[in-house]
Structure 1
Amino acid sequence: MRHEQSTTASHEDHAPIVPREGLNFGLDGDIPKYWMANDAFKTRFFDAMSTLFPMGEKFFITSVREFRDGVTTPKLQQEVTNFIRQEAQHTLIHRQFNERLKAQGVDIDSINAQLETLFFVDAPKVSTATQRLAATAALEHLTSMMCTCFFERKELLEASDPRVRAMYAWHAIEEVEHKAVAFDVLTQVAKAGYLARNISMLTITFGFPVTVARIMNHMFKVDGFSFGQRMKLWAKGLWWFYKPGGLFIPTFGYYMAYYKPGFHPWKVKEMPSYKTWLQVFERTGDPIAAGNALHAAGQ
């Protein structure tokens, strides 16, 4: 699966950013603990991602807001507003999901406290506002990459609970819609150049998976897995991550596009099934039906 940068893509020819509020994913229902193929590693990978979102989205919003007064074009001003509204909804829904994890024994309060210290105490001490915005743009690219590439592959989430899958499908759709906002503020307002944004991407590339891995390991301990069992989970899981055709290898082209001179997020082709989700949601107002349709449209 290749995601090459198009040299003819228009920055104007993309989906609008549409905040969607009051969505019900049935997260208070009888969702299995290991909701993805009854697999502890696969489930806990996505669960760990969910624990990052509330503080992560707050960091994204804060980083963009620091430059909001410098945004002068009405189009980008409106996109920033809609970006903030979408990210606020992501925070709300993932907090609901994270309450399920908390009930399972996952120390959500400690994870939030550590992330809050990292993002809002430690980071400002060692970075500039531009560097934090560059980190946000890099993380938005990685998030959009995962959202796009994961939902293109039907087999990946085939054996998943449709309610959780729908939550991630909705999140994916909105990440696709606003994926260029932080990048545009970074380049147009903060005036960051090629080197600054790529240094941030390299830093995030190494730091992000370490953070996810630490949270996953905590979850495995909570689940009662012994040291030996955890090592077996990691060995099998890392193979799932990095084997040929695994979780991450097919995303490599999308990832590397960020380093190209002249890159812009809208130059990378998006999931062909985006309109499928949109059409079903607009017709039914049901995010679970739309998530099922998005999944069914995968290859």
Structure 2
Amino acid sequence: MSVSSTPEGVSVSPRHIHFDVSEDLKSFWHGNDAFRTAFFNALSLQFPDGEQQFINAVRLYRDRIDDPKLKQEIRGFIGQEALHSREHKNYNEALKARGYDIDAIDRRFLKHMEWVGKLRPSRQLAGTCGAEHYTAVLANAILKNPEWMEGATPAMKQLWRWHAIEETEHKSVAFDVYRACVGNERLRRIVFLFVTWNFCKYTFLNTCSLLRTDGKLWNVRTWLGGLNFLWGKPGVIRQCLPEFLAYLRKDFHPWQQDNRRLLAENLRELEGVGAAN
């Protein structure tokens, strides 16, 4: 019996796309808005080390998986995450070239990731499932609400669309591995609370670090606009909150949010503009 829950019509396969966003990152690329630009850049700063940890956690269990479909999806998951890590490393290097102290930010997050890497395998995989839930919900929201990226440069729109598409495609892979090899629902939910704290903590700290370099950290208008973006209108976090909290249900599964139609629509648009160089 297959233990993969990836639905029919969804393929977990890496796309070898390269985005040159070095020029875009020399400016406030998201509508000339300091907070929105810093918020998305703060997310990017977590991806290279974070996604490498996701790969490591799933690798700890892949030899225990017999289902051919899930084994293939694990290979696809690792390939997709490796490419995300590569593109966001380039993204972050461009931020460093602009004058941000990316090395200090990386050291802060890497210290946390090294601690995570010393946890028991079951906790590492539970953490990966929780973090993948956050990326999947945010990915769905970005695909569903293109107005959230209104004003962003075309290259940045495409980079975030590509990342969101692949996070959606593989959103159940780590979860299926966890369910097959660990299956501890209490651990899954408890670890999610720690993931929530750390995800919010490092996104906030990174955003503050970037805004400090921009000279906007103590700018009241910047923060009022940012709070409106996250909690008011459009309310990125506010709109995602019910989906984030759904993870705490005992019967939760990533594909309960069945967004295959949305995925297909965005795939056509991604391919239609010829994002690959």
* TM score, norm. by length of structure 1: 0.84
Do structure 1's residue 199 and structure 2's residue 190 form an aligned pair?
yes
In the other structure, the counterpart of 1:180 is 172
Structure 2 vs 1, CA of residues 116 and 54 (structure 1 numbering), >3 Å: closer, same or farther? same
1:57 partner letter: E
Do structure 1's residue 46 and structure 2's residue 40 form an aligned pair?
yes
In the other structure, the counterpart of 1:80 is 74
In the other structure, the counterpart of 2:60 is 66
In the other structure, the counterpart of 2:143 is 151
Q: Distance in 1 between matches of 2:89 and 2:117?
A: 25
- Match 1:277 to one of 247, 250, 266: 266
User: More displaced, 167-176 or 97-106?
Assistant: 97-106
Q: Distance in 2 between matches of 1:288 and 1:43?
A: 24
Whether the 8 Å CA contact 1:63–1:132 is kept in 2: the answer is yes
Do structure 1's residue 13 and structure 2's residue 8 form an aligned pair?
yes
Structure 2 vs 1, CA of residues 274 and 11 (structure 1 numbering), >3 Å: closer, same or farther? closer
Do structure 1's residue 98 and structure 2's residue 92 form an aligned pair?
yes
Q: For residues 37-73 of structure 1, give each alpha carbon's deviation from its aligned partner in whole angstroms, at most 9, with x where no partner exists.
A: 1100000000011111100111100111111221121
User: More displaced, 247-256 or 205-214?
Assistant: 247-256
- Match 1:162 to one of 154, 159, 163: 154
1:228 partner letter: W
Q: Distance in 2 between matches of 1:223 and 1:283?
A: 35
User: More displaced, 244-253 or 60-69?
Assistant: 244-253
In the other structure, the counterpart of 2:203 is 212
| Superposition deviation, residue 244 in structure 1 | 6.1
Q: Distance in 2 between matches of 1:151 and 1:16?
A: 17
2:208 partner letter: N
Give the CA RMSD over aligned residues. Answer: 2.1
Structure 2 vs 1, CA of residues 73 and 155 (structure 1 numbering), >3 Å: closer, same or farther? same
| Superposition deviation, residue 11 in structure 1 | 4.7
Point out 4+ residue stretches in structure 1 off by more than 4 angstroms.
Answer: 280-284
| Superposition deviation, residue 277 in structure 1 | 2.9
Whether the 8 Å CA contact 1:36–1:161 is kept in 2: the answer is yes
Q: For residues 72-95 of structure 1, give each alpha carbon's deviation from its aligned partner in whole angstroms, at most 9, with x where no partner exists.
A: 211111111110000000011111
Q: For residues 97-127 of structure 1, give each alpha carbon's deviation from its aligned partner in whole angstroms, at most 9, with x where no partner exists.
A: 112110121122222222222112x2245x3
In the other structure, the counterpart of 1:287 is 275
Q: Distance in 2 between matches of 1:124 and 1:278?
A: 34
Q: Distance in 1 between matches of 2:24 and 2:127?
A: 37
* TM score, norm. by length of structure 2: 0.91
Q: Distance in 2 between matches of 1:208 and 1:15?
A: 27
In the other structure, the counterpart of 2:222 is 233
Structure 2 vs 1, CA of residues 142 and 14 (structure 1 numbering), >3 Å: closer, same or farther? farther
In the other structure, the counterpart of 1:3 is none
Q: Distance in 2 between matches of 1:103 and 1:123?
A: 29
Q: Distance in 2 between matches of 1:163 and 1:63?
A: 31
Name the % identity.
33
Whether the 8 Å CA contact 2:230–2:236 is kept in 1: the answer is yes
> Number of residues paired by the alignment?
273
